[in-house]
Structure 1
Amino acid sequence: MELIATDLAERLGRWSSGRGPLYVLLAARLRRLIDEGELPPGAPLPTDRALAPALAVGRGTVVAAYDELRLQGRIVRRQGSGTRVAGPPEAALTRGTTGASVFLHLLEPKQDVIMLACAAPDSPPPELAEAYARIAPRLAAISGDIGYHPSGHPALRRALAEHYTARGVPTQPEQILVTGGAQQALSLLARAFVRPGDHVLVEAPTYPGALEAFREEGAVVRGLPVGLAGLAAAARERRPVLAYAVPTFHNPTGAVLSALARRRLVEEAAGAGVPLIDDEVLAGLAFPGTEASPGGEAGPGGEVTPPPLAAYAPRGEAVVSVGSLSKVAWGGSRVGWVRAAAPVVARLARLRAVRDLGGDVPAQLAAAELLPRLDAVRRRRAVERRARHDRLRAELARHLPEWDVPPVAGGHTLWVRLPQGDGTSFAQAALRHGVAVLPGGGLDASGGSREFLRLHFVLPEEELSEAVRRLAAAWRAYDPSARRGGAPPTMAV
């Protein structure tokens, strides 16, 4: 089966951000994917006519790149049978790896590219360093502990249980699993619940890391509207093994599910017998002054964190909550967690024990120290993020007024609708102007959202302004309407 051009475009990563002719850069990146086994022998490649628009380049660029690879013996081109990776088709010796842009950008050197793809604070707060300083004496005094805690260090499990109890979800430490970030939590949940061919319900669009985690286990991922509207009917039709939602500052749209919709969602999932994952990673990122939803938890700056979905479930056991310090504090701490029924946590701990025996103990002790002190971090960063959100929207309105950029009340991202074209090909044009963005198609399991981009506003304001200037230059080069209205055509008589 021929590889879809837009899928290959995403797997190519930041292929065009180097120096040299585009066809040379394209050939080099394709050669690397072939040599690393990402494009196995016999794999059919998109036609040059299909790949060129997906990469926002002329057809001649793809033809020249394919010719280079043919001369190097990497591909075979035959009229009537298309273009294939050289070598006989064979069963893959290794499992495929991710082709999601959000991960591939992390694997690339930054070079001179402004990253609007992966949204997270770019420096740890001073409170985190202070937490490490406070735990140093405790660390030095440890004795009789080999440091392997697959379920998480008891101190952090207790602190997280108290955190959920204070939010209206009574929780015991045995209901907490500490993970190496929320992404590992999602991967463990997918491993525990999903078998190849099982159906998983997600919002369309949604966080691409969740899509990758479910697909890694062979799931058939089905998209529903944001908020998982229609879950009950979809559950009857598909018999899913999991449902996944981001109800608070939804990634990527920024939407917040109302209290009534939260209750209905939990009831529908419970009635269908479908475990419901509540991704709370962004839940603490409300802007100052955001009005409360009923039952919301008021923060120190007047911002409100809506109640977790588990608050609407009896004993909170029908919902699996996933959280992390990555977006509130710093991604480099790699501390996340799962809050679920004790039997689920025990199963996840057994799966984790096989993989890494447990997480970094100093990081967990520091997280336990930091958790009760997060309000100061949230308050300071909420003001900063609001200013950056406003700056990015103002710059987009000034330089790209035709783009539709709705405001959000929190989180890290804007969901931008392009007036024409598609996000995948424009993302390629943006890369050539030094900006990495996420095209909407890669975030939508239903195949939609191709006219959208996800942009984050976490960078300093001056850098956001420069990013928009580059995006505007890319849009002028990409937008077909920019090439209209020139001199009238010469008439032939």
Structure 2
Amino acid sequence: MSGSGARRWSARALVAELGDWSTPDLPLYGQLADRISRIIDNGTIQHSDYLPPARSLASALALSRHTVEATYDALRAAGLVASQQGSGTWCTSARPPRRTPTRTFPRHYPALSEPALDLQVASLPAHPLVARSKTATCRFIKPHLDNHGYTRTGIDQLRSRIAEWFAEHHVPTSPDQIIVTSGATQGLLLACASLPPRAMVAVENPTCPMLLSTQRWHRLRLRALPSTEQSWEQVEQCSAGFVTPAYRNPSGWCLPEARAGELARAAKRAATLVVEDLALIDLRLDGPPPATVAARAPEGNVLSIGSMSKLCWAGMRLGWVRAPHSLVEALAELKGMLDLGTSVDVQLQAAWLLERRDVIAADRVRTLRERRDVLVEELRRELPDWTFDVPDGGVSLWAGLPEPVADEVVAAGRRRGLAVLSGKAFDVEGRDNRHLRLPFVQPPEVLRAAVRKLAKIVDARPAT
């Protein structure tokens, strides 16, 4: 049973914390359970806190008591709450050992009435050199066939190429600081797994949905940082701070150089781990080169994560982590527990491609700049009251709607053959209903058609 010092949540207080909790692809009780579980995950509802009685919460939400009781049943089944007759329902803050990652994207989409315009995924198709890399590296695999093939931290050729990549971004790096991973996502997973259970971590808001899912799966407590002007005091109060200095997904925002230095100093003062995602750093379309935290603290407590996905092809599933020497072995042990090593032939391809990264990056930048400009032009013409900053790099634009109707627009788009993600997927609290992420990775004709379809959806809405 709950302890005597526990907070007793009133229905009114919980409703205020819930905010906009609707999720179109779940039943009503599931939507409410999903939202309450997020509040438990981020530490707002803490261990031993009491939830309000089902009757009072149902009244406050204008729901049936049966719906709230079904919600509490779902939370009990997930191991998040417990109940006792006459005592109420309280938070246990413990899921079963076999956890399921927090769902970020809808499980499925309804059948589309027209050919789909897919603006969900923010990655380009494979660069032409990816196909060539497969045949070009066949002869290089022979020396590796004489051993077991397990490469916990990666093959030497690739680790050296990645160290050179960091040096080009003004981060002095030795190959033994590199751990090759199965995509940047595995790098984020290693960073999260290195933290103590229920550690408080600072997270940019909005941010990458996969990062949020990984952090919640590890039961980390999330503290949202404002979208642009971060308060590093919050980072100093956390075990770790997760940042994307270069062209953050979804907004395309960059961390100013001075702010990167401030973050490095703040993290050093508090012995806070900084985890920076550099997967998009090579996709600079305009403006000065983006800053990195590791460049300001090359010997500091900074994990820098990179990937081949945005530059070359997401299908390669190859990334890397640069770590201080003090953390390399611990992260390598975690990596070995996951998969014993990334595919050797894919590592050889990556090393070959990184030798040609300047050519590949130039091609990608030309393509993305053209498509970004098409998207910006269409939005300004078709949806002039939508707001956005033109990103200097990356692969997506963060479009602000004049009203909080992003979910409604997304649902209408699905029915009309347009797939796009609303701001809720990128929001730490899952509340943002005023934004859509619009990647500009599709060909110009697809982008034009998608924006015109969005304009028709908006025009068809009843006036408010």
- Is TM more than 0.5 here? yes
**Correspondence for 2:224:** 223
Structure 2 SS opposite 1:243: strand
Of the three residues 81, 85, 88, the one matched with 2:66 is 81
Of the three residues 94, 99, 104, the one matched with 1:95 is 99
Structure 1 residue 406: Cα displacement:
2.4
Question: Residues 440-489 of structure 1, C-alpha deviation per residue, up to 9 Å, x if partnerless?
Answer: 13312256643111110100011111111221222223x332xx7xxxxx
Structure 1 SS opposite 2:146: coil
**Correspondence for 1:61:** none
**Correspondence for 1:386:** 369
Task: Map residues 66-465 of structure 1 onto 2, 5 A cutoff.
Answer: 80-82=65-67, 84=70, 90=77, 94-101=98-105, 104=107, 112-122=115-125, 124-196=126-198, 198-226=199-227, 229-232=230-233, 234-235=234-235, 239-287=237-285, 290-292=286-288, 305-313=289-297, 315-445=298-428, 449-465=432-448
Q: Distance in 1 between matches of 2:215 and 2:239?
A: 11
* Contact persistence 1:200–1:220 (CA under 8 A): yes
Structure 1 SS opposite 2:160: helix
Change (3 A) 1:425 1:355: same
**Correspondence for 2:44:** none
Give the stretch that moved more between structures: 424-433 or 103-112.
103-112
* Contact persistence 2:21–2:31 (CA under 8 A): no
Change (3 A) 1:181 1:106: farther
Q: Distance in 1 between matches of 2:113 and 2:64?
A: 40
RMSD of equivalent CA atoms: 3.0
AA of the residue aligned to 2:122: A
**Correspondence for 2:54:** none
* Contact persistence 2:102–2:216 (CA under 8 A): no
* Contact persistence 2:19–2:431 (CA under 8 A): no
Q: TM-score, normalised by structure 2?
A: 0.79
Q: Distance in 2 between matches of 1:109 and 1:348?
A: 44
AA of the residue aligned to 2:321: V
AA of the residue aligned to 2:296: Y
AA of the residue aligned to 1:260: A
Structure 1 residue 111: Cα displacement:
8.4
Structure 1 residue 424: Cα displacement:
2.6
Change (3 A) 1:46 1:178: closer
Q: Distance in 2 between matches of 1:229 and 1:223?
A: 9
Q: Distance in 1 between matches of 2:431 and 2:71?
A: 29
Structure 1 residue 318: Cα displacement:
2.1
Q: TM-score, normalised by structure 1?
A: 0.75
Structure 1 residue 205: Cα displacement:
1.1
Structure 1 residue 82: Cα displacement:
2.4
AA of the residue aligned to 2:102: T
Change (3 A) 1:352 1:252: same
Structure 2 SS opposite 1:426: helix
Structure 1 residue 105: Cα displacement:
6.9
AA of the residue aligned to 1:173: P
Return 5+ residue gaps in structure 1 as ranges.
13-28, 31-42, 51-77, 293-304, 485-493
Structure 1 SS opposite 2:414: helix
Question: Residues 199-243 of structure 1, C-alpha deviation per residue, up to 9 Å, x if partnerless?
Answer: 1101111112111111111111111123562122x245xx31110
Question: Residues 392-439 of structure 1, C-alpha deviation per residue, up to 9 Å, x if partnerless?
Answer: 111122222221132111111111110113323322222222222221
Q: Distance in 2 between matches of 1:173 and 1:371?
A: 14
Structure 1 residue 121: Cα displacement:
0.6
* Contact persistence 1:319–1:340 (CA under 8 A): yes
* Contact persistence 2:268–2:300 (CA under 8 A): no
Return 5+ residue gaps in structure 2 as ranges.
1-13, 36-62, 80-95
Structure 1 SS opposite 2:458: helix
AA of the residue aligned to 2:151: H
Q: Distance in 2 between matches of 1:164 and 1:414?
A: 27
Structure 2 SS opposite 1:81: helix
Structure 1 residue 4: Cα displacement:
6.8
Identity %: 31
Structure 1 residue 308: Cα displacement:
2.4
Structure 2 SS opposite 1:316: coil
Q: Distance in 1 between matches of 2:112 and 2:196?
A: 34
Question: Residues 20-46 of structure 1, C-alpha deviation per residue, up to 9 Å, x if partnerless?
Answer: xxxxxxxxx76xxxxxxxxxxxx9445
